[in-house]
């Protein structure tokens, strides 16, 4: 981490308090080397949970919805409740840490930008695109002025990871495709969204499947090419809350139970 990124992270983490933002336990600088100590997150990163944990951990509707809501609430706090507004600028599943209850917490604020007013955007150098491949909003490649809608795009990519259980740039995709373009291509070729969604969802209840499709629609809305067409994080939280009703915990049938049924 560069000195600038380290300083940015210390200032940002020292000024924010939210259950879905990682808590800084302490920091020190010695001989030009900086160290940040975070609260312990036993489940590791969301990326590990989705793509690397063996054996694969089954995630029911309640778990995926909780993760989606937690990340959205953390971002909504940064965008709408912090003064000045904070834009994360490197939102990805590797920067979302998971506690023992699968509550997500956003971390790594080394690239975060503080906006002085709601009408502000920040200048991005053409020679140094901000973010991580697969999560970078399209405007980051051509616009010198970037806003919080870059975070919304990254959030949409994370939703697709959560729903499809594929990496943003996955070896199963055709050359040149990322998870956004792959999802849109698959849906154009076949209107059935379950050609895109995680196979585990095949065993969910009808209500859970319907909510998964609605969550997919929200993910695609977040990853629209035009920044102004994307919803705000506050609007996203509102849409997610609508999906929380009518699903009781433990309603998911496991794959084993489904296969055993006549």
Tokens of 35: 């160290």
Query: Is 15 within a domain?
Result: no
Q: Active site residue: 60, 81, 90, 175, which one? A: 90
Query: Is 70 within a domain?
Result: yes
User: Is the confidence at residue 154, as pLDDT, over 80?
Assistant: yes
Tokens of 55: 């054996």
Query: Is 29 within a domain?
Result: no
Distance CA 8, CA 19 (A): 20
For residue range 69-123, list pLDDT tens digits in order: 999 999 999 999 998 899 999 999 999 999 999 999 999 887 788 764 444 555 5
User: Is the confidence at residue 249, as pLDDT, over 90?
Assistant: no
Query: Is 262 within a domain?
Result: no
Concerning whether 90 is annotated as a catalytic residue, the answer is yes
Identify whether the C-beta of residue 27 lies closer than 8 Å to the C-beta of residue 37: yes
SS3 content of the chain, % helix, strand, coil (to 5): 45, 10, 45
Full domain range(s) for residue 133: 42-250
Q: Give every CB contact of residue 164 below 8 A, 6+ residues apart in sequence.
A: 179, 183, 196, 197, 198
Total residue length of the chain: 262
Identify whether the C-beta of residue 156 lies closer than 8 Å to the C-beta of residue 165: no
Query: Is 7 within a domain?
Result: no
* Cα dihedral 60, 221, 180, 186 sign: positive
Query: Is 10 within a domain?
Result: no
For the chain, the domain total comes to: 1
247 confidence band (pLDDT: 50, 70, 90): low
Identify whether the C-beta of residue 200 lies closer than 8 Å to the C-beta of residue 252: no
CATH assignment of the domain containing 55: 1.10.510.10
245 confidence band (pLDDT: 50, 70, 90): low
Greater pLDDT, 118 or 224: 224
Q: What is the average pLDDT score of the chain?
A: 86
User: Is the confidence at residue 3, as pLDDT, over 70?
Assistant: no
């Amino acid at each position: 981490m560069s000195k600038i990124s380290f300083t940015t992270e210390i200032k940002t983490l020292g000024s924010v308090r939210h259950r879905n933002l990682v808590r800084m336990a302490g920091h020190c600088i010695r001989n030009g080397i900086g160290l940040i100590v975070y609260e312990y997150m036993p489940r590791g990163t969301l990326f590990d949970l989705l793509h690397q944990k063996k054996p694969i951990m089954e995630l029911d509707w309640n778990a995926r919805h909780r993760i989606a809501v937690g990340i959205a609430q953390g971002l909504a706090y940064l965008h709408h409740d912090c003064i000045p507004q904070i834009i994360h600028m490197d939102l990805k599943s590797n920067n979302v840490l998971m506690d023992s209850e699968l509550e997500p917490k956003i971390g790594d604020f080394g690239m975060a930008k503080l906006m002085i007013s709601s009408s502000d955007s920040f200048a991005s150098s053409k020679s140094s695109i901000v973010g991580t491949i697969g999560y970078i909003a399209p405007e980051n490649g051509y616009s010198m002025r970037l806003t919080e809608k870059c975070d919304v795009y990254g959030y949409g990519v994370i939703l697709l990871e959560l729903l499809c259980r594929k990496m943003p740039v996955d070896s199963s995709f055709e050359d040149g495709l990322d998870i956004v373009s792959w999802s849109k291509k698959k849906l154009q070729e076949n209107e059935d969204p379950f050609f895109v969604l995680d196979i585990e969802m095949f065993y969910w209840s009808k209500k859970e499947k319907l909510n998964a499709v609605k969550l997919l629609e929200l993910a695609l809305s977040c990853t629209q090419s035009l920044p102004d067409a994307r919803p705000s994080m506050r609007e996203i939280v509102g849409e997610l809350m609508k999906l929380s009703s009518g699903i009781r915990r433990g309603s998911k049938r496991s794959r084993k139970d489904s296969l055993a049924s006549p």
